[in-house]
Chains A and B, each alone.
Chain A
């Protein structure tokens, strides 16, 4: 869907982005991750040509974006920024209708769309359509920001640290919310972040940037399990093994093999299929048991989660396999 080939950007003598190539399949979330000043935002802004590339090509749906008029290109891409940038002189409705209006949509159609989108981002249209941005909390503003970017139903969304200014508790909430929206709308998303947990949680693929280059491109599990360099290993952190556990659910390791009798106390630990393995392992260690029951929300038996199976998963490719 998005193919970037040999993209570079120099500002005078400074090279901000150097020979970046990556491709993102339709409906996937690709996170551009890295420390500040690593060129990830510059890369993002070259896609909707807020910054003109020095060299390289960007294709969206097979089409070279350099052939498109810059304004047409921008209107066809959803754009969300950290500071949100809702226009304070416009109501929520008018903010969402900005791009539809620029595209000359019929008024009733764009208004209907605004109401629909507020539902999508879990804000009550009756309550919020006529409000002004100054009447919204930070989290609500960013939801409206996402709705505004979705307004003209663009196939591609660019998001520049969209949840970076939101407090940690609400950030988790809005991340989950966004994942729910994404399952519904299936956009191709390029997302800039410096938050490794956010990347591990949301990304289908991650491009880890360092000094204007891509240090490693792969799935979150690839980066955690097989860091390509010292930099990647240190950026992912010393606890990257534990971070890998967050990517797996107890249902992934649940087995029908019953535990050997006599090992555990009768007070058995019960986990849900959706619980991540870090949480499960932590609970197992906490109560000194080596297995847990996995039951679904109706209490039906799904399988047994053995501590040994969890550890085996990590060994899976954290260490080179010995034959």
Chain B
């Protein structure tokens, strides 16, 4: 109850921190989609390259977040961005690579070879094949990767508060240093809620982007509806 009262009393501050938090995550995941999807497509047809790229991305993922944020400080200090939003976004961007690259390349390389043969046989160029057939079919798996990256990053972004990036992690840190359970719990609670909410929102987006022909259950529902009207 006390935690809830704290949240209500400080909703101004909390929405500010929430905005910062979401901004960092959205920027990092957004940039990661721009790089991860093309990399995933590029490596999907080369088994050797794929292994190396995925291994590298997996190594990035295993670096503890506190250590990665710490590493950013000396490196980025050279260009004057040692602390703040920039290193936080870069770290989260790196963490997003694995799920996005892996899911994209799996989705593209798992496409039924018969579809590829039909597409080539009908005279589609590689680009037309990608745009009209392969990417639409890969949407569900790519979006699953994006959701995973987003949820992971909403959690990890809390630690970015230590390097001055702001966000809901600030509440947790302050709660620890001031031994104020209310603040600590408030930060943790809000982070959990937005992680779940983001997952649902992206799932809705995924359904929206998935071609109707891939969604058997809605198609059956549609036919039933047609049959009864």
Contacts and interface: CB of A to CB of B under 8 A. Distances in A.
Interface of A: 48, 50, 71-75, 79, 81, 83-91, 98-99, 102, 132-135, 148
Interface residues of B, number: 24
A99 B213 contact: no
A84 B115 CA distance: 8
A135 B120 contact: no
A132 B121 CA distance: 21
A50 B132 CA distance: 20
Contacts, number: 73
B123 interface: yes
A90 B216 CA distance: 13
B120 A98 contact: no
Contact of A85 (B114, B125, B136): B114
Most chain-A CB neighbours within 10 Å: which of B112, B117, B120, B121? B121
Interface in B106-147: 112, 114-115, 117-125, 128, 132-133, 136-137
A135 B121 contact: no
Interface of B: 112, 114-115, 117-125, 128, 132-133, 136-137, 211-214, 216, 219, 223
Nearest to A48: B121
Given A79-B118, A81-B118, A83-B112, A71 B123 contact: yes
Interface of B is mostly: helix
A78 to B, nearest CB: 9
B115 A85 contact: yes
A70 to B, nearest CB: 8
Given A71-B125, A98-B122, A102-B123, A83 B114 contact: yes
A135 B224 CA distance: 12
Most chain-B CB neighbours within 10 Å: which of A73, A91, A102, A133? A102
A189 to B, nearest CB: 15
Most chain-B CB neighbours within 10 Å: which of A72, A88, A99, A133? A88
B219 A87 contact: no
B213 A74 contact: no
A132 B213 contact: yes
A74 B115 contact: no
Given A83-B114, A87-B132, A88-B137, A50 B120 contact: yes
Contacts of B133: 87, 89
